[in-house]
Homo-oligomer: A and B are copies of this chain.
């Protein structure tokens, strides 16, 4: 159920210059039954974290309502709600998505929170370890969860380390975390101010926060943080927020987001030339463009040098059913 900028509004607007304002039809506040059910219930993330929906404002129809005030009553006839939402998403008309708002209660290791908080267009109240004793929980890594440094992606990680190595690393982790907590508690016992006692807590310590954000900025956050290149820990939170909460709350927006943003493919000016050449069966042109833009630099022995942009292009070609001509 939702509030609508209904026919009477439009009629009233067209009437114009009426000194006596007609009554609007009654409005009822937007409410989404499928999401009401999960209010307050924690979705578990990592070993001791969670995401809880606290409150929301608006729904799919609130996006439509806002778009219709911008685009005028005329849009109503030619496009249904789903079509309008997809049009808005496709053309980056982002302001109607700002008309919805979500409030979450989250519990996150400080290390992931340091990334999270970089998204500036949100409202935040974080648990304060100046006022209160730090939460007595730190994220623990199981023996099988240690990831090796990616060689290709300087910021990423690859496969898991062998379990024997993992056993040692997890034991050392437990010992360090216990020691850090003990030092913290000794300081508190000695009368050290909480704001100073906390200074050597590990980044793995859990914190909590209320986090409130509009739907447009939330989708931006999710697009970045659900991505393969995002760190696994924050990705775990983003996946829950997207798939468990937003998908229920605004299903039409979510579908449009997946089609036009998350699963879209962007081709650079140069890539469009290469794709065009390949699609029209002119591999020599594709090769020439690729050479010109440095995609095909070679080592002394003739083998292609590693080139990240070429690799990204190859993934896109695979999606488009095209084979690279340089292999």
Contact = CB atoms under 8 A, between A and B. Distances in A.
Contacts of A327: none
Query: How often does this chain occur in the complex, in copies?
Result: 4
A124 B117 contact: no
Contacts of A40: 3, 24-27
B210 A280 contact: no
A154 B71 contact: yes
A44 B16 contact: no
Q: Is the interface of A mostly helix, strand, loop or mixed?
A: mixed
A86 to B, nearest CB: 8
Contact of A135 (B16, B71, B109): B16
B21 A321 contact: no
Nearest to A86: B309
Interface string A195-227: 110111111100011101010000000001000
Contacts of A202: 180, 199-203
B269 A263 contact: yes
A214 B123 contact: yes
Interface string A159-183: 0010001001100110011011001
A289 B50 CA distance: 39
A49 to B, nearest CB: 9
A57 to B, nearest CB: 4
A50 B21 contact: yes
Interface in A25-73: 25-30, 36, 39-42, 44, 47-48, 50, 52, 54-58, 62, 65-67, 69-73
Interface in A300-327: 308-309, 312, 319-322
Interface string A232-269: 00000000000000000000000000111001111111
Contact of A193 (B13, B135, B158): B158
A111 B199 contact: yes
Contacts of A168: 190
Contacts of A86: 309
Contact of A71 (B111, B131, B263, B309): B131
Given A40-B27, A155-B131, A136 B16 contact: yes
A259 to B, nearest CB: 5
14 contacts: A16-B136, A24-B42, A70-B128, A71-B128, A86-B309, A99-B212, A118-B124, A120-B121, A149-B194, A157-B196, A179-B179, A180-B180, A259-B269, A272-B319
Given A99-B125, A146-B190, 10 more contacts: A24-B42, A55-B58, A86-B309, A90-B268, A109-B199, A149-B192, A176-B179, A176-B183, A202-B203, A280-B321
Interface of A: 3, 5, 13-14, 16-19, 21, 24-30, 36, 39-42, 44, 47-48, 50, 52, 54-58, 62, 65-67, 69-75, 86-87, 90-92, 95-96, 98-99, 101, 103, 105, 109-111, 114, 117-118, 120-121, 123-128, 130-133, 135-139, 141, 146-150, 154-158, 161, 165, 168-169, 172-173, 176-177, 179-180, 183, 186-187, 190-196, 198-204, 208-210, 212, 214, 224, 229, 231, 258-260, 263-270, 272, 275-280, 308-309, 312, 319-322
